[in-house]
Structure 1
Amino acid sequence: MSTQETSAMPARRQVIAAAGAVACGAALVGCGGGESAAAVVPPGIKGKAIARTADIPVGGGKVIGKWKIVITQPTSGVFRAFTASCPHRGCAVGRIGDGVIRCPCHGSEFAVDSGKCLKGPAEAPLAQYALKVEGDEIIMV
């Protein structure tokens, strides 16, 4: 190979540095705090009813395991949908009541009205899904 041909190829150090930069960027995005981002609706449920309003207690909620979504009713007639995966380690959240969504793995807690992290070790909020209520059905949009 001539000198011109080899200079066009990236050096091993450049490749490793670029990969490291991408990994660090992804980690920083995943650790973002504060605001609950709108999540991409899982395939197959957009436009479908996934729960009934009567099944979601006021101040609490219900995990829809099939879709890994938690539906909450912070106040009467107000419904929210969040990912059921804790941003700390991906465990499924479980206990929901008294205005709090709890992760059984490490004790993180999230607000039923916003998904905001109330207690760590999680630092990021639960990602929120858009939904609408039609009659007594909760529908993913």
Structure 2
Amino acid sequence: MTTINRRRALSGTAAFAIGVPVLAACGSDDTATDPGASGADDPSSDPTSEPTSSGSASSGGGDSLASASDVPVGGCFVAAAAKVVVTQPTEGEFKAFSAVCTHQGCAVESSTEGDIPCPCHGSKFSLEDGSPLSGPATAALASVAITVDGDSILRA
């Protein structure tokens, strides 16, 4: 006759119920190796390409990210739907990066304070190259190629 030890069955269930949430909370602080953290899961984003800042029209007619007037000089504007942050480090110079923080995958915010801030854990990134200025993030935001056509900023 086979009987199930009730105590053993319940202790296994309890271990599972406690262990799964604990494991889920043990994420890495540096998600740069996680393809989803850098926007690499977005097929229209090429993190290896360099942003451009030209006055010529986009040859591919890419997605509109912002108008130049949306992006403050010395600040940034987040195009939330596209998960892209557009910066203007100096007058007329536009750059773009993934708007997904490399620390834990939170969305960065628009700013006029001279950096790209992440509201979740306080990381700040450079307007020039997306590199971390303060942590806990240790990896740079992935570059996103853009073109500028008059007042329109488009994904290249």
Name the TM-score, length of structure 2 as normaliser. 0.62
Aligned residue for 2:103? 88
3-state SS of 1:54 partner: helix
Question: Identity over aligned residues, as a percent?
Answer: 44
CA change 1:74–1:38 in 2 (3 A) is farther
2:151 matches 1:136? yes
**Which stretches in structure 1 are left out of the alignment for 5+ residues?**
1-26, 32-36
State the shift of 1:99 in Å: 1.8
Instruction: Give the number of equivalent residue pairs.
Output: 108
2:44 matches 1:41? yes
State the shift of 1:51 in Å: 1.0
State the shift of 1:50 in Å: 1.8
- Kept in 1: contact 2:131–2:140 (CA 8 A): yes
Q: 1:66 aligns with which of 57, 65, 81?
A: 81
| 1:67-90 superposed Cα distances (whole Å, 9 cap, x missing partner) | 111111110000011111100000
State the shift of 1:48 in Å: 2.4
Q: CA RMSD, aligned part only?
A: 2.6
Aligned residue for 1:53? 68
Aligned residue for 2:140? 125
3-state SS of 1:87 partner: coil
Write the distance in 2 (CA, Å) between the matches of 1:103 and 1:91: 7
CA change 1:94–1:29 in 2 (3 A) is closer
State the shift of 1:46 in Å: 6.7
Write the distance in 2 (CA, Å) between the matches of 1:79 and 1:116: 16
Match for 1:128: what amino acid?
A: S
3-state SS of 1:112 partner: coil
> Which stretches of structure 1, 4 residues or longer, exceed 4 Å deviation after superposition?
37-40
| 1:3-23 superposed Cα distances (whole Å, 9 cap, x missing partner) | xxxxxxxxxxxxxxxxxxxxx
State the shift of 1:49 in Å: 2.0
CA change 1:41–1:95 in 2 (3 A) is same
